[in-house]
Amino acid sequence: MTEKEKMLAGLVYDADNDPELIAERASCKDLCHDYNLLRPSNFDEQQTIIRQLFAATGNEFFITAPFWCDYGHNITIGEKFYANHNLVILDGAPVSFGANVFIGPNCGFYTAGHPLDAAQRALGIEVDAPITVGDNVWFGGGVQVLPGVTIGNNTVIGSGSVVTKDIPDGVIAVGNPCKVLREITEADIIEYFE
């Protein structure tokens, strides 16, 4: 079994010394670099690069530069996905976003986990777990989502949260570690259009 096959199977693998994975990350980082150097008004070329990087996208999406990921081919985004500046996705495992997901600035989604033992960690081994985000989710600025987390539909994750465990549908969740604060109710509807 190759190191890439181990990575995709959720097994312990050598991320730091495998030539195939190193080459894939370098290629991905080159595309991210190209993306980040485009003029902000160059929407067509931006979308072309993201479609080249990601496994799947919706028809309408926008990711504000700068943006970085490790492989790209493990990322899927739904329709009307929006991410503000400084999004980082470490995608050794699948990272899936539903439709109408809004991500504030300086957010990160990290599938990689490393050994707690320093000697093992120094070997460059890691294990990845997928991240799944439902539809209609809003992440405030500075949110960090850790490996293996699923976030339900119609949920808001408050700014600065560190999401270490699954979050259900239809709630506001905040903190470090992120915890459900309360359900979103009809009382939260603001009459923007009267």
Q: Is the pLDDT of residue 191 over 90?
A: no
Domain chopping of the chain, boundaries: 3-184
CATH 2.160.10.10 fits 3-184, yes or no: yes
Mean pLDDT of the chain: 96
Q: Is residue 85 annotated as part of the catalytic site, yes or no?
A: no
Q: Is the pLDDT of residue 12 over 90?
A: yes
What confidence tier does 33 reach under pLDDT thresholds 50, 70, 90?
A: very high
Q: Is the pLDDT of residue 186 over 80?
A: yes
Q: Is the pLDDT of residue 13 over 70?
A: yes
Catalytic residue among 33, 73, 85, 114: 114
Q: How many CA atoms lie within 13 A of 62 on its CB side?
A: 10
- pTM score, whole prediction: 0.94
Q: Is the pLDDT of residue 130 over 70?
A: yes
* Residue 163: other Cβ atoms inside 10 A: 25
Which backbone phi and psi does 61 adopt, to 5 degrees? -160, 160
pLDDT at 188: 86
